[in-house]
Amino acid sequence: MFREYAQYDGLGLADLIRQKEVSPSEVLEAALERASALNPELNAIVHTFAERARRMAEDVSGEGLFSGVPFLFKDLMDDFAGEPMSMGSLAVKRIPDRHSELVRRYMDTGLIPFGKTSTPEFGLTITTEPKAFGPVHNPWKRGYSTGGSSGGSAAVVAAGIVPMASANDGGGSIRFPAACCGVFGFKPSRGLTPVGPEFGEPWEGAVTGHVITRSVRDSAAMLDAVSGPEVGAAYRVARLERSCLKACAEDPRPLRIAFSSRPMISTAVHPEALKGLESTVRLLQNMGHKVEEAAPSIDRNRFWKDFMVVVCAHTAALCHKVRQWGGPEAVRRLEPATRNMAAMGKSLSSLDFVLAKEGWHGVQLAMGRFLETWDVFLTPTLIGPPAAHGEIPPSPMEEKLLVAGSWLPGGAFLLKSGLAKPFAAPTLNRMAFTICGNMTGLPGMSLPLHETAEGLPLGMLFTGRMGEDATLFALAGQVERARPWLHNRPPLAAFSGKP
């Protein structure tokens, strides 16, 4: 048995396989053994196809960048032909007949997938506690959230089940769970990674797919491998001019870094987030970067409403598809919060939608102008420590009100007047730093740079200029060398194999 499996990142495992020090089958069995031992505690893997993976491992050519490396797909957007896709919902069970384009590119690197990771229903909330599968436990402390919506992926990476797992980010869903689980999460620039053919412009371009990893170099290497133009895409992008993998191995020039603790939604920031930000500022200054307090000028009252208008409209469209797939009974199986968001989206006018998109453009312009002066913008990823289970999802009484509200007219008024905010606040407020990256399409990354007094991770968020993903990777590599985290192991990852 390959007991040293969890000590390696993806590139490290691929190199061992390439040098024939270990076989792809041995590596896969080590991953499957860890999954079998740890997932009952984590509840992060919702579907497996181990025998299919074993057949793939026997046929590894060794030519791909990650040939023979075990992998897990998020159960949302990443269609893997022949395996069910539930999207975190009791109402959906699709079996795609072809890979999505991003999955195809993942597979071209030689990965060996063996299952799917949990996500909240349709990826709509910032904690992974779906009714369909139950809550995912944070590897650092059972009973606490892994974040969302890629919470299952972040948990399996933090626990060392796989060195990387697929993820997607529409409001913070790569960066947020990475911050909760103490791993590295990078959201690429808009359009850099494919979303088709099932999707053209999910959430008006807010959604981007990539991977959650332990090491910076795995994320960089994967982005180099999968980025580039896609047939039928809304955005025509070329591959990055500079290799992200090469960038993360070299220290960047001294950067101009602005930092701020002021969230873009009116909410309080926990002292632990402020403590982590202060520590990160000192670290960056000691590295020779120019770090000063500054922030873009953004209308915080309009910011959250414009985001919610677009997301609710897209949720309404998705629920319309659910009705087409499974009829009214499928819609009734949707979670109350999903049905309520769909009802609000359905009540919106085309004018509401266009005005909201104009608001998005205002944020894009503000950030673009701000980053003419600064190379990078630093904030906490989270407004506070990971939440306990049950803290973010609606209570039973709130769910009854949401169900009732989904049958009533006036959803658009609730959104525009701000009356909907109290129901959305547990999720929305926690996304106060991450949403900006989705509205603007700017690249961003969460680095595991702070640990709370209770021993829970709390990441720091770095946002860069459009298309300058390599600059962020250069900074990430430098920070990782200064304050390594690769071998940090959470309590629920304590497993070394059978004696």
Q: Which of 54, 8, 6, 4 is nearest to 29 (CA)?
A: 54
Q: Out of 67, 74, 187, 219, pick the active-site residue.
A: 74
Integer Cα distance of 391 and 426 in angstroms = 8
State the virtual CA torsion across 82, 107, 473, 469 in degrees, nearest 10.
-70
- Helix H or strand E encompassing 357: helix 350-373
pLDDT at 1: 74
Q: What is the mean pLDDT of each run of 10 residues along the chain (499 residues)?
A: 93 97 97 98 98 96 92 98 98 96 98 98 98 98 98 98 98 98 98 94 97 98 96 82 96 98 96 98 98 97 94 97 95 95 93 97 98 98 98 87 67 67 86 98 98 97 97 98 95 72
Q: Out of 67, 86, 145, 149, pick the active-site residue.
A: 149
61 among known catalytic residues: no
Longest dimension (CA), the chain: 65
Integer Cα distance of 378 and 367 in angstroms = 13
347 among known catalytic residues: no
Q: Which of 216, 221, 363, 374 is nearest to 304 (CA)?
A: 363
Q: Which of 147, 215, 277 is nearest to 485 (CA)?
A: 215
Q: Which domains, from first to last, does the chain contain? A: 5-253+443-493 (3.90.1300.10)
Q: Out of 89, 100, 173, 189, pick the active-site residue.
A: 173
Integer Cα distance of 149 and 121 in angstroms = 9
Do residues 121 and 127 make contact, with C-beta atoms less than 8 angstroms apart? no
Integer Cα distance of 88 and 129 in angstroms = 9
Integer Cα distance of 274 and 261 in angstroms = 7
23 among known catalytic residues: no
> Exposed, middle or buried: residue 320 (CB in 10 Å: 0-12, 13-18, 19+)?
middle
Do residues 17 and 10 make contact, with C-beta atoms less than 8 angstroms apart? no
pLDDT at 443: 98
| Helices (H), ranges, 87-215 | 101-108, 151-158, 175-181
Predicted TM-score of the model (pTM): 0.96
